[in-house]
Amino acid sequence: MSTFGKLFRVTTFGESHCASVGAIIDGCPPGLQLAAEDIQVQLDRRRPGQSDLTTPRNEKDRVHLQSGLEHGVTLGTPIALLVRNEDQRPHDYSETDLYPRPSHADYTYLEKYGVKASSGGGRSSARETVGRVAAGAIAEHYLKLAHGVEIVAFVSSVGKIHIPVTDPSAVDDADNDDAPEPLSAEYRRLLSTVSRADVDAHLTRCPHVETAERMKNRIIRAKAASDSIGGTVTCVIRNLPTGLGEPVFDKFEAVLAHAMLSIPATKGFEFGSGFRGAEVPGSVHNDKFSKRPDGSLGTETNWSGGVQGGITNGEDVYFRLSFKSPATISQAQETAQYDGTPGSLEARGRHDPCVVPRAVPIVEAMAALVAMDLLMIQKSRQAATALLPPITTLPPTMVMPPKRS
């Protein structure tokens, strides 16, 4: 369906070749100071036509706030966000009237709905993500003001070119339990310090200087060959309070996986130490507790990715997801038409040779929507409990001991 979230509910609308795209947010807290620029900054990072590495489709993607605000303050009523589609070229899709594009959504959308939008895959187009990014920017704005939450995503690989994640000097002997840590100290430092400015310093949105250059060349090579290439995006969320996530089915990482795998072209999701974490023994992987300067408990390592039992523990949340190589390529592909006739498809139109540089703000937006919704759910639970008279009869083992600084 087109709605995400339980208390901060976002419904997106629109497809590639209709009049406008956008979102309606129901449940945004009233009293939030909000300017169009708070939203526009993320839409500009998602916008097509940003560089030679992305589709040349030229959309300004100016957001129009239609409702839910007065004098720059949210009213608590539905916020409608609208962005006009201006640079549509439906005629670019005439071949795809005959051919379903291999690995695109043309065939499955037609099978499911029985009618075909001019762009073929309809709402599977990345134009739909405009609404997510606009709504996510509002959620992020709230999270920043309320809790100082920071969300930073970056490109961690393109094709086979990765930011180095493990220590190059570590010996990886498959039969030896002394496996290297899942992520090197350098990579962990990158995760805890990387900023959006670091990310945007490179067209590829990879903050690792040497890798960024190689990635750029890889995307240019794919484009020159009328081909495409995939990649991965890593994201870190800092300063989340403890207690977010609704076990058992709506654990923090489960909702995050749902949100992330709803982004077009995603193929894999890895949380915390992820698949590499399965290679090290518990004695290496366990995140031992220690006292933070403020007296609260923290962990010395963070292989859990800031979540245990589906609930945030106050450490950074981090995860990675993979995006496939975009399906639409202008190289001839031997395939079949809708009626089964074999033929060759050379897709026209303007397409991304690699989606990951533009996926970065989409990942940040979905992370913000998850964090916002789970924060509101936890805060409403706590507010309901706070209305009750205090209980003085609980044994001390049932309550958290007071912090000792």
Residues near ligand FMN, by CB under 6 A: 55, 104-105, 121, 124-126, 263-265, 324, 326-328, 351-352, 355, 358-359, 362
- Judged by beta carbon, residue 5 or residue 361, the one nearer ligand FMN is 361
- Residue 27 has φ and ψ, to the nearest 5°, of 105, 10
Radius of gyration of the chain (CA): 23
The CB-of-46 to ligand FMN minimum distance in angstroms stands at 7
- Judged by beta carbon, residue 100 or residue 272, the one nearer ligand FMN is 100
The CB-of-341 to ligand FMN minimum distance in angstroms stands at 22
- CA-to-CA distance for 354 and 195, rounded, in angstroms? 22
91 is catalytic: no
Strands across the sheet containing 79-84: 3-4, 9-13, 20-26, 79-84, 63-65
Before 130, cis peptide (omega within 30)? no
State the catalytic residue, choosing from 104, 208, 285, 351: 104
The CB-of-307 to ligand FMN minimum distance in angstroms stands at 25
The CB-of-114 to ligand FMN minimum distance in angstroms stands at 18
17 is catalytic: yes
- Judged by beta carbon, residue 264 or residue 277, the one nearer ligand FMN is 264
State the catalytic residue, choosing from 61, 92, 287, 352: 352
- Judged by beta carbon, residue 115 or residue 171, the one nearer ligand FMN is 115
CB 311 within 8 A of CB 299: no
202 is catalytic: no
Angle between helices 129-147 and 36-46 (to 10 degrees): 130
The CB-of-3 to ligand FMN minimum distance in angstroms stands at 18
User: Which residues touch 326 (CB under 8 Å, ≥6 apart)?
Assistant: 228, 265, 351, 352, 353, 354, 355
- Burial string for 245-257 (b: 16+ CB within 10 Å, else e) reads bbeeebbbbbbbb
The CB-of-146 to ligand FMN minimum distance in angstroms stands at 28
Nearest to 272 by CA among 324, 241, 315: 315
The 8-class DSSP code of residue 174 comes to T
Q: CB count, 10 Å around CB of 20?
A: 16
- Judged by beta carbon, residue 55 or residue 234, the one nearer ligand FMN is 55
Helix (H) or strand (E) holding 289: strand 289-291
| 335 token code pair | 């395939």
- Judged by beta carbon, residue 315 or residue 364, the one nearer ligand FMN is 364
Distance of CA 139 to the CA centre of its chain: 13
State the catalytic residue, choosing from 17, 141, 202, 285: 17
Q: Return the active site residues.
A: 17, 104, 352
